[in-house]
Amino acid sequence: MVARAGGLREIAREAVRARISDVAIDMFAEHGFDEVTVEQIAVAVGISARSFHRYFPAKEDAVLGDPRPWGEYVRGAFASRPAGEPVWASLRAAFEALLSLSDGHDEREKRMMRVLTSTASLRARNLEKHLVWGHMLTPLVAERLTGNDITLRAQAVVQSSLACFDIALTTWADPGETRSPAELLAICFAELHPGG
């Protein structure tokens, strides 16, 4: 019974987090990230600013959330790829697995991406996401490499793949873009490693 209650409590908590995030993203898209305060978001949601901070430590977190679970998903998808597959192909497949969780045409997700790239503090937080995901992926990539400077090369490959992922999503978020994130990801990956 306790576990079940904990599960329901967590579901309710995630529903509140999602509601706060949705309202915040709408407000940021309409008024600009720097123009909207935590207090204004809290009022729009019907909670106190203090309650907002129980769900999100900072305003940026309402847009990005916790990057770790998604990084773990990508890491797991990479780890499940065949050991003999080229690393670059495995990374692309891992990012495609993450992208497949969405239909790739959600206007809300596009709006969130546009907000994410609209201000320096959000871009900096997105770079922190890269660092978290990079720490998760680099050891797995390094295990597949041979020769000298394995860690350095693994870091370069992982960070390049993350840049491709970000560029694909940023391009996809453009209001006039009709291609899916996976199509754009394929173009970016092919440019850095033709044929791979």
pLDDT at 67 over 70: yes
- Structure tokens of 78? 């990479």
Encoding tokens for residue 24? 């915040």
pLDDT at 11: 82
pTM of the model: 0.83
* Ranges for all domains in the chain classified under CATH 1.10.10.60: 2-59
Domain 66-192: CATH class, spelled out: mainly alpha
Residue 2 pLDDT > 70: no
pLDDT, tens only, 11-63? 888 899 999 999 999 999 999 999 999 999 999 999 999 999 999 999 999 99
C-alpha closest to that of 184 among 154, 159, 153, 163: 163
According to CATH, the topology of domain 2-59 is Arc Repressor Mutant, subunit A (1.10.10)
Per-residue pLDDT reduced to its tens digit, 147-178: 999 999 999 999 999 999 999 999 999 988 99
Residue ranges of the chain that CATH labels 1.10.357.10: 66-192
Of the chain, the percentage scoring pLDDT greater than 70 comes to: 94
10 Å CB burial of residue 109 (0-12, 13-18, 19+) is middle
pLDDT of residue 195: 58
Of 108 and 89, the one with more pLDDT: 89
Look at residues 126, 150, 16, 156 and name the one whose alpha carbon lies nearest to residue 63: 126
